[in-house]
Structure 1
Amino acid sequence: MLLESLNASLKVGDPSTAQGLCEEHLRLVPNDADAHRYLAQLCLVLGGQERAINLAVRATELTPDDPRTWSDLGRVHVLLRNLPEAIACFQKAVAVDPTYTDGWHNLGIALKQTGNHEQALDALKQALLIDPTRAETYLSLGNLLVEAEQLEDAIACYERAVAHDPHLARAHSRLGQELLQRGEPERAEALFRHTLSLDQNDAASWSDLARTLEDLGQAEAALSCYRNVLHRQPGHAVALGQYLALIKGDEGLAWAAQVETALDGTQRSPEAQALVGYGLAKFYDRRGRFSDAARAATRANAGRQQAAGRFHREALRTRVDGIVETYQTDFFAERRSFGIGTDQPVFIVGLPRSGTTLVEQILAAHPLMHGAGELPDLARLAGQSVAGQDIAPWQAAYQLTDEMTSRLLAHEYLRALRRNAPPDCPRISDKQPLNFFHLAFAALLFPNARVIHCRRDAKDNALSIWMENFNPDQRYATDFADLAFFRSQYERLMAHWHTALPLTIHDVQYEDVVADLEGQARRLMSFLGAPWDDRCLNFHQQERAVQTPSRWQVRQPIYTKSVGRWKHYAPHLPELEKAFARSDHSA
């Protein structure tokens, strides 16, 4: 009866009345452990932290054999950030009753918050062994597996969460996010729409849906979603930045003026400053306001650098030194029997914004080919191969010492590569540009694979990277001098691969492609052993999803306005020309 009355008050948003009901009940029944438990949670909501602890402790004293009292005391400690005490309480709850699923679930969550991921996984799995229908536990387990980069298992957990509780909006949202990362925007779109059907005020899901629609080439629908976010949260950094980057005409002028004022102030975090600044830079660039675009991008990169930290050049130099010294011609000759014989994978590599998306779009227009997008799986498998060994992922190929393991890894990669491809497709491309760091690993898995290396004018390439909202981990992208150094190391590594790597490498210059599309496309087809098909010239007419910053450019016919683009910015960004003025950027 008491619990029903409390729930009725809470349902209408009245915790004070619920607290009064609890207190009145305890005056009549002072040793009611359940009432102590309920009142402890209410006191936390209303700000009575010390009293909440005292009430929760009293509940355990009244019924020490009730796992609920220990679990609720643990929850109080969690909310007060007393995690060691919380873990002890949850452990007591499951010791009192090993079948108490809430205790195992709460223990797993608390262990995760302290960084004990292995124990957290064990606790959550124990909860699901007892009750395999707990959607919240599947959701929490999925989140842990994402952090462990076990993405397929994580997606399976989210799918179970959705199946067991179709009304759990967060499960639909998380599943959508991971499917989007895996290159399945159509499925992700349906999940985000379902989430919004459950909660139309969920700004994060509106933003996720907008991003998905951008990947699908639906600009107006994406803009509508961003407007929905900004209507609910006018300062939402992701939505505002993407809206400004995408909007055409005069509609965004009012927002741009407001953003200028906000960026000059201090009310935004450095990361929010970056997100909005990159969008504003694109807004001005599209309108030919290059001075304003340079100023906005400068502030964006300053914010990103402050939030993410500076690039460490020596770490990159050491990495490239190690790769060059380790992977010589004889290394591959000694392992010529490793991997599997298929020549299906095509690795498209190069610096970001060097034309990799354009090349993949040309290939994907051919009926015998498929573009898988930017897959994380080669780097992921390299990392997992050396997990727990305190060595860097670039050493994965060196640590690969037997043929059977190389073949198992190759088949695992192929599952990811073929996931959305037509059956029996002869060629499938993976256009993760930075896979040039992992080509030794690729060569041991697929000794017959092909590599397409995309190049672009150094200054145009650097400017395009610098003005783009890349992953914060790409710290080299925020400073022209760092970009010049990164390029010099990349060029050194690619020169080494040209001489040492057993895989065939085909170089493609972006400027040559835009100047002679058919000639360069025919060269690509010849390199891949494919018959010519005129559809390759109409690559922009494809309806396939494109999940890179170049998503809008490759939906247009070939154009040359990006060639020499840096010259528009030369008067406003003298540091760009200075950084690339020297022939040697290794200092």
Structure 2
Amino acid sequence: MSFASEPTGSLDVALAHASRLLESDPALAGEQATEIIRAVGNHPMALLLLGASHTARGQTRQALDVLGPLANAQPRWAPAHIELGHALARAGQGDEALAAMRHAVAVQPDLPQAWLALGNHLAALGDTEGAQTAFANHVRFSTRDPGLLAAATALHENRIPEAESLLREQLKKAPTDVAAIRMLAEVAARLGRQEDAENLLARCLELAPAFDAARQNYALVLYRGNKPREALIQIDTLLAQDPANPGYRNLKAVILSRVGEYEPAIAIYADIVAQYPKHAKIWLSYGHALKTAGHQDRAVAAYRKSIALDAGFGEAYWSLANLKTFRFSAADLDAMQAQLRRDDLDTDARLHFEFAVGKALEDLGDYAGSFAHYERGNVLRLGELPYNADDTSLRVRRAKQLFTGEFFRERAGRGAEAADPIFIVGLPRAGSTLIEQILSSHSAVEGTMELPEIISMTRVLRQQGDAAQAMPYYDALTQLDAAALRDLGEQYIERTRIHRKEGTPFFIDKMPNNFSHVALIHLILPNAKIIDARRHPLACCFSGYKQHFARGQNFSYNLADLGRYYRDYVELMAHYDAALPGRVHRVIYETLVDDTEAEVRRLLAYCGLPFEEQCLRFFENARPVRTASSEQVRQPIYREGVDHWRHYEPWLGPLKSALGPVLEAYPKAPDFS
């Protein structure tokens, strides 16, 4: 067909027709665009459609041949740069795609799909803040309704109460407005109303199954709500339609890592770093997955690449230090100290460098210099994560009041019957990973990771309790009947199933903080085993003090807080020893080191397991390990670490004072009456 002599209206009709064909029949859309070009020359819209049709058919080279020159010729035409970004992404040129999307939104900021694509690229790179801003702009510019636009603007500017009010008003008028429902779910998520956010997004997808942006939100909310199986279903639905989407793929890798599927996650990360080779954060994520799966050399190489891309990326240096068996070179130490001399170094980078330099100087035997850096790092971290030791002591007192021996006897026989779980509790850095490695070397036991299920349950129960109480879920727990306790136990077994890969009769949940929840565990899973990993208070607490935890453990950034926390922990466990005699098996780390075989035999006997020689050769176990001790437990036990804290004893006065009688009584507990 020819358009050379046709009026402009005919050309517009032809372009509109080709545009409509693009989604249903991209090949035919390309043919239509080619005919238009033959008739009228290199019309920009026709070239755009031709390039998009090539991209849709996976013909990335042809797409780039068309879209590259078009974008160069049309520097202020945002659609050309958006389509070029899509083609570059399909071609695996992620950095170039990111630049094209940034250019598009700079030229025309009110393009919602450009913001969505940019958000997905930034999410793939681990730039959470940048991705959230981009996604917020996508929401903001997705609507032309004045009421929704006002709500979206309020949401973008983090004026949450105003956004919620506007959205609820909108939904009174239009209950099925999926854009408003999606935004209200974002409000709920920001306010910590997890269940509300999930329900709203589920309703959104019920009304509009093709609303991919809402489905992506839903997957993220499910993941953050500790529902990885459900999140994977949503992500796989999205990937079935857009398998190259970098944001979807990155989120899938994150979720796979959460459930212990490290090799598939590593494969995804490898593709992403190939697509975005110049971004330090994604190399860091890749390194973390490699480390956990036991690929230490490759992890070190990934961390090194991250540092090469960003010399001020303190977290990458700390990740090397956190391998524990890694030793920095003199050049590494000089580079880190040079960064600490910068006036413009941000707080997060600085605290990571402080912890990393502390480790480097520790390895050199400069304990005074090492402690000074650890101390500065802890001060910075505590400034980010305030902690009130009185709240912890109050919770311990409340638990002792409520969870008495009589209380447990009245509820005997309740809960789920399953005996599968073996809980390892205690303080971080107390040897729990070593115990897990030993047990998981047994043919009947699978090691998983620090599972969040129990803590997730406490959050739900907390919503049912009295907000005036320091730990209101304790009171809510006392109100649960036999059916409710059984349901919680069965829910735990079901929700942890995704972490079990080997089909063994028993599995380990190694969340140390679960020592606060022994009552809950006992009530919902009375046949589960509970092991308390305990280490000398000065060794355990100082090991925690020099550890920069990725999240939580707010008590660990001040020596006096650490001492009080350890004391509260010992007091609570002593209470459970009295209220539930023999229920908890205690492993003293120093005894395990001194007489490993005898302690392993005691441990296996408590778990009802026959002795297996391989449990003494735990260091040959190649399973993934997600904690800071991942490389240490892949080596035989050595005694050197038992008394290492003594190098720092001159500076541990506040810790000793806070520990009080717990220090003198160790390994026993003092009289807390």
Stretch moving more, 267-276 or 438-447: 267-276
Cα deviation per residue 1:220-266 (whole Å; 9 max; x = unaligned)? 10111112222322222321221344497876432322322333444
Cα deviations by residue, 1:76-95 (Å, 9 ceiling, x for unpaired)? 84697386898899899999
Q: Within the alignment, does 1:536 sit opposite 2:612 as a pair?
A: no
Look up the match of 1:25.
Answer: none
Partner of 2:540: 461
- What does 1:561-580 align with in structure 2 at a 5 Å threshold? 561-571=640-650, 573-577=652-656, 579-580=658-659
TM-score, scaled to structure 1: 0.82
Q: Whole-Å Cα distance in 1 between the matches of residues 318 and 410 of structure 2?
A: 51
Superposed CA deviations along residues 288-338 of structure 1, whole A, max 9, x for unmatched, are 3323321221111011011112x2121111100110000001111111131
In structure 1, the residue matched to 2:526 is 447
1:318 is the counterpart of 2:377: no
| Cα displacement string for residues 253-294 of structure 1 (whole angstroms, at most 9, x for unaligned residues) | 323223223334442333332222222222332333323321
Q: Distance in 1 between matches of 2:151 and 2:310?
A: 31
What amino acid is aligned across from residue 283 of structure 2 in structure 1? W
Aligned residue number for residue 51 of structure 1: none
Relative distance call for 1:576 and 1:132 in structure 2 (3 A) is same
The 3 A distance-change label for structure 1 pair 204 and 3 is: farther
- When normalised by structure 2's length, the TM-score is 0.72
2:554 paired with 1:475: yes
Which residue of structure 1 aligns with residue 442 of structure 2? Answer: 366
Give runs of aligned pairs for residues 57-76 of structure 1, distance below 5 A.
Answer: 69-70=144-145
Match of 2:241 in 1: 164
- Aligned partner of 2:353 in structure 1 is 276
Are 2:465 and 1:406 equivalent residues in the alignment?
Answer: no
Q: How many residues align?
A: 549
Q: Any idea what SS the aligned residue of 1:561 has?
A: helix
Match of 1:56 in 2: none
Q: Mark the runs of 5 or more structure 1 residues left unpaired by the alignment.
A: 22-38, 47-65
Query: One-letter code of the match for 2:313?
Result: H
CA 1:247–1:522 in structure 2 vs 1: closer, same or farther (change >3 Å)? Answer: closer
Aligned partners of 1:274 and 1:300 also within 8 Å: yes
Matching of residues 9-88 of structure 1 within 5 Å: 12=71, 17-18=76-77, 42=107, 44=109, 69-70=144-145, 77=153, 81=157
* 1:511 and 2:590 correspond: yes
**CA–CA separation in structure 2 for the residues paired with 1:92 and 1:19:** 34
Task: Tell me which amino acid in the other structure corresponds to 2:616.
Answer: L
**Distance in 1 (alpha carbons) for counterparts of 2:638 and 2:339:** 35
- Offset at residue 448 of structure 1 (A): 1.9
- The code of the aligned residue for 1:69 comes to R
How far does the alpha carbon of each residue in 1:88-116 deviate from its partner, in whole angstroms, 9 at most, with x for none? 99899999999886676567557756878
Matched residue, 1:233: 310
Answer yes or no: is the 8 Å Cα contact 1:271–1:307 preserved in 2.
no
Q: Which residue of 2 aligns with 1:258?
A: 335
Q: Deviations over 1:374-412 (max 9, x none)?
A: 111112123223435444364166345222222221112
Q: Which residue of 299, 311, 328 corresponds with 1:222?
A: 299
Question: Is 2:272 the counterpart of 1:213?
Answer: no
Query: Given the superposition, is the C-alpha separation of residues 119 and 573 from structure 1 closer, same or farther in structure 2, using an over 3 Å criterion?
Result: closer
The alpha-carbon distance between structure 1 residues 195 and 133, as it changes in their structure 2 partners (threshold 3 A), is farther
**Could you tell me which residue of structure 1 aligns to residue 362 of structure 2?**
285
Say whether residues 1:193 and 2:193 are aligned partners. Answer: no
Distance of 1:521 and 1:67 partners within structure 2: 61
Indicate whether 1:547 and 2:626 are aligned: yes
Corresponding residue number in structure 2 for 1:349: 425
SS of residue in 2 equivalent to 1:352: coil
**2:210 pairs with 1:129:** no
Is 1:139 matched with 2:244? no
Name the structure 1 match of 2:508. Answer: 429
Corresponding letter in the other structure for 1:321: R
Alpha-carbon distance in structure 2 between the residues aligned to 1:20 and 1:490: 60
Distance 2:564 2:645 in 1: 18
Q: Is the 8 A contact 2:566 2:659 kept in 1?
A: no
- Alpha-carbon deviation of 1:203? 3.1
Distance 2:351 2:201 in 1: 37
Compared with structure 1, are the counterparts of its residues 406 and 574 closer, same or farther at alpha carbon in structure 2 (3 Å cutoff)? closer
Structure 1 residue 535 displacement after superposition: 0.3
Tell whether the 8 Å contact from 2:563 to 2:655 is kept in structure 1 after alignment. no
Which AA in structure 1 matches 2:447? G
Distance 1:103 1:12, change over 3 A: farther
